[in-house]
Amino acid sequence: MIKSAPGNVSLESIMTEIRKLAAARSIELPPGLFADVAPKVLAAWRARAAVEAPSHMRTHPRELTLLLLAALVQEREREITDALVELLIATVHRIKARADSKVTKELINAFKRVTGKENILFKVADAALGQPDDSVRQVIFPAVSGGEQTLRDLVHEFKTKGPAYRTTVQTTLRASYTNHYRRGLIALLDTLEFKSNNTAFQPVIEALKLIRRYAKAGNTTYYPRGEVVPEHRGTAGEWEDLVFKNDKRGRRRVVRMVYEIVTFQALREALRCKEIWVVGAHSFRDPEEDLPKDFAARRVENYAELRKPLDPKDFIAELKAEMRAELEALDTALPKLDWLAISERKSGAIKLTKLGPADEPRNLRRIKNEVGRRWGSVPLIDMLKEAVLRTGCLKAVTSVAGGSSLKPEVLAERLMLAIFGYGTNTGIWAVASGGHAHSEDDIRYVRRRYLTPQVATDIAIAIANATFTARDVALWGEGTTTVASDSTHVRAYDQNIFTEWHSRYGRGILIYWHIERGSMVVHSQTLRASASEVHAMIEGAVRHGTTMKVEGNYVDSHGQTEIGFGVTRLLGFDLLPRIKQINKVKLYRIESGESELYPRLTPAMTRPIRWDLIEQNYDQMIKYATAIKQGTASTEAILRRFTESASHPTYQAMLEVGRAQKTIFVARYLRLRELQREIQEGLNVVESSNGANSVIFYGKGGDIATNRREELEMSVLCLRILQAALVYINTLMLQDVLADLEWATMLKPADQRGLTPLFWQHVQPYGEVRLDVAKRLPLGGAAQAPEAGNPD
């Protein structure tokens, strides 16, 4: 029971997960049972227990069986707790969103915009003053064009756009909560234990206790007189008039159901920024546990690892010097920059002309056609096979469940078939019917016992590293240190808790890619459709796992967030965004009292940086950056504290660092045309990668048809493996073609700039899957033995 994945956001899912958590807790494992066990070791035990059937588990010695089961129960208890918190957050959001949608739809259907309101008012007033003693129907209605109906439309318009709209939404939300969702949310209060390290959020904790005490109070409208009802952030503002009402005797009372709604809304916001945390959770645990416990003892080493000075004054001096240098350079160069103008405008001070087209690479098509002529139409499975055999990326694969009698070559073939089935989204059933000797059950067995998300990640990393090694420096240049990152929306079935509605794309998830300039994927991860992409960008740049050293990250407009600039500055790599609304960007001043400096930039400048805030929180900022660098928690879990709804002082200090770093970048970006083109070309690599994904991931119309998060992640990881194999083999093919002097001399500077191994005109992704290890592609370079490792 506890192995099953959570369903979509619904009352039924909440109740099911509560029952699963109760089952896991009923085992009553001792607290701190695995406190001295490394997380990776514990995860390996959990994975082994998850894939073994009960009959296999019984064959182990009793001690081993108990160890594996205890690891599984403890890890699942934390995972289920996290899932319940996510369901709580999503459910509270859904109640509000559906109320908004329902009311808006009703009002739009009846909405008519009335024009000429001023004239109507004048005519009504003139008629009323002219005949004040006659009836409205005789005087007012005839004075208005359209008569009574126009006035009805005018009143309706006011109601749809005025305070009545908000009141209607609140009333609808209350009905939805009371009649359906309340049972699940109240049950969560009996299941989860909420705590906070911030006294400002203690009233919300106390409010939750009050709600629990009166959860079964029936139809009681108000809390009893004399009961202490904590006032918190949710009870103020637009809900205040509904939370506090006067009873029949004129006494100010608290409406119980409305109070519950606003408390859950306040709880949701506090959970999202971890100001309130949950006992027994992992992602939503005490935020202090996310930070390195030995930070103070290893302070000097931690600062050195981030290449940051110990003294905050030195850090601030570096930032000031860079800001001053870039602002002076821009102010001096501005008169000579024909693509840039800065002046007072309503639309924004900065006016930047678009980049012109680059020189067209005229010979790349001929070179790609030559690849197709030499190797013909190459099945995608053969590209995967060739990459596996040449890189030896399967050698380290071993069973998560212990011993196996499979021969290495058999294991390798079944692993390739499983990867192909997931990576193309056709599924194992489809690949099992191809030209090979492996049944569907055989492939599923290997998938379950060998192909974990970590194994799939290691395979992709191995192919990427092999590609970096195989590259001809004379052709591709020295190894790059920049990656481009962006997300792709993929449709997914609604039964998955990870699936969310996106206003532009519909239901699905986001896949966030990190791709280096040579078109090799170095990192991928799945995100919710509503997730901020800043943490994903940082996670991939810091923990991609390949031999590449990332020193810069091209991102689309989402990356221009000030918190993103702040964190990347602390981590020591450059954030290089494409800024679409550049006209509205502001440059921060270095010091107060310097309004006369940089006169040409004055229209685009704003307040000075608050250096005192940076100095006061410098050590804490380094502590958070160290946690991200060392991976004591996921980047997402750490950055949850740094949201716009948070008043965390470290967050405010990081924002100031980000504003300083963004000023440095924007000044350089505006001045250097080549930097603008470099970022544009880097992001074009991601767009091209998305095109390749649509060709490779063709099964089921591109929809991920699963309600299990691990299966969803496996599809994405195997897609990454297939794309990495495509780039690796194309790299070798291009190098073989361009090794001929006739073709090498054809490569002009424009062709060299546009040369990429990410193309697929010669690739055959469809058709029957015929896996023949003995049939090889004629390519340069040495091939390794077709092994998949020692299956013990």
For residue 783, what pLDDT is reported?
47
Taking residues 174-184, what's their average pLDDT?
A: 80
Element (H, E) at 688: helix 673-696
The 10 Å Cβ neighbour count of residue 780 is 11
Burial (Cβ within 10 Å: 0-12, 13-18, ≥19) of residue 714? buried
Contact 78, 281 (CB under 8 A): yes
Burial (Cβ within 10 Å: 0-12, 13-18, ≥19) of residue 117? exposed
Helix residue spans in 111-234 (DSSP H): 117-130, 136-143, 148-161, 163-176, 182-191, 202-213
Residue 224: DSSP 8-state: P
pLDDT single digits (tens) 755-772: 899 999 999 988 888 888
Using the predicted structure, report yes or no on whether residue 107 has a pLDDT greater than 50.
no
For residue 401, what pLDDT is reported?
61
Residue 286: DSSP 8-state: -
For residue 120, what pLDDT is reported?
67
Do the strands 252-254 and 244-246 form a parallel or antiparallel pair, or are they unpaired?
Answer: antiparallel
**Within 13 Å and on the Cβ side, how many CA atoms surround 741?**
0
Using the predicted structure, report yes or no on whether residue 326 has a pLDDT greater than 70.
yes
Measure the CA–CA gap between 150 and 146, rounded to whole angstroms.
5
Using the predicted structure, report yes or no on whether residue 713 has a pLDDT greater than 50.
yes
The model's confidence at residue 102, banded by pLDDT at 50, 70 and 90, is low
Least confident of 25-29, 113-117, 303-307, 514-518: 113-117
Find which of 150-154, 183-187, 317-321, 706-710 is predicted with most confidence, using mean pLDDT.
317-321
For residues 475-498, one letter each, b for 16 or more C-beta atoms within 10 angstroms of the residue's C-beta and e for the rest, the string is: ebeeebebbbbbbbbbbbbbbbbb
What tokens were used for 507?
Answer: 């239901």
188 to 12, 84, 478, 698: CA distances (angstroms)? 13, 8, 55, 40
Residue 704: DSSP 8-state: B
Residue 179: DSSP 8-state: I
How wide is the angle at C-alpha 34 spanned by C-alphas 29 and 37, nearest 5°?
A: 165
Using the predicted structure, report yes or no on whether residue 140 has a pLDDT greater than 90.
no
Using the predicted structure, report yes or no on whether residue 784 has a pLDDT greater than 60.
no
pLDDT single digits (tens) 408-466: 889 999 999 999 999 999 999 999 887 788 999 999 999 988 999 989 999 999 999 99
Measure the CA–CA gap between 584 and 225, rounded to whole angstroms.
53
| N residues, the chain | 792
What tokens were used for 422?
Answer: 């997931």
- The residue ranking higher by pLDDT, 3 or 466, is 466
Percent of the chain scoring above 70 in pLDDT:
89
For residue 435, what pLDDT is reported?
76
Do the strands 350-352 and 340-342 form a parallel or antiparallel pair, or are they unpaired?
Answer: antiparallel
Q: CB within 8 A of 640, min separation 6: which ones?
A: 272, 273, 274, 287
Contact 757, 727 (CB under 8 A): yes
Measure the CA–CA gap between 543 and 536, rounded to whole angstroms.
10
What tokens were used for 390?
Answer: 């040449």
What tokens were used for 411?
Answer: 């294991």
For tokens 């001809």, what's the residue? 472
Give the closest residue to 29 by CA, choosing from 42, 47, 13, 48. Answer: 42
pLDDT single digits (tens) 667-684: 999 999 999 999 999 999
For residue 561, what pLDDT is reported?
87
For residue 493, what pLDDT is reported?
74
Least confident of 86-100, 510-524, 544-558, 609-623: 86-100
Residue 288 three-state SS: helix
Contact 125, 82 (CB under 8 A): no
Give the closest residue to 640 by CA, choosing from 202, 331, 278, 115. Answer: 278
pLDDT single digits (tens) 220-266: 888 998 889 999 988 887 778 778 888 888 888 988 888 988 899 89
How much is the mean pLDDT over the chain? 86
The 10 Å Cβ neighbour count of residue 559 is 22
pLDDT single digits (tens) 73-87: 999 999 999 999 999
Using the predicted structure, report yes or no on whether residue 313 has a pLDDT greater than 60.
yes
pLDDT single digits (tens) 578-623: 988 899 899 999 999 888 899 999 999 999 999 999 999 999 999 9
The model's confidence at residue 791, banded by pLDDT at 50, 70 and 90, is very low
For residue 648, what pLDDT is reported?
77
Residue 349 three-state SS: coil
Measure the CA–CA gap between 452 and 45, rounded to whole angstroms.
13
Element (H, E) at 85: helix 62-110
Residue 222: DSSP 8-state: B
Percent of the chain scoring above 90 in pLDDT:
50
Radius of gyration of the chain measured on its C-alpha atoms: 31
Q: CB within 8 A of 234, min separation 6: which ones?
A: 204, 262, 263, 265, 266
For residue 53, what pLDDT is reported?
79
Measure the CA–CA gap between 649 and 469, rounded to whole angstroms.
45
pTM: 0.84
For residue 315, what pLDDT is reported?
97
Taking residues 575-579, what's their average pLDDT?
A: 92
For residue 112, what pLDDT is reported?
43
223 to 59, 237, 256, 340: CA distances (angstroms)? 58, 20, 6, 63
Phi-psi region of 454 (alpha: psi -120 to 50; beta: other; left: phi over 0): alpha
Taking residues 497-518, what's their average pLDDT?
A: 79
The model's confidence at residue 510, banded by pLDDT at 50, 70 and 90, is confident
Do the strands 552-555 and 482-490 form a parallel or antiparallel pair, or are they unpaired?
Answer: parallel
Taking residues 532-551, what's their average pLDDT?
A: 91
Distance of CA 310 to the CA centre of its chain: 32
Give the closest residue to 500 by CA, choosing from 486, 14, 492, 177. Answer: 492
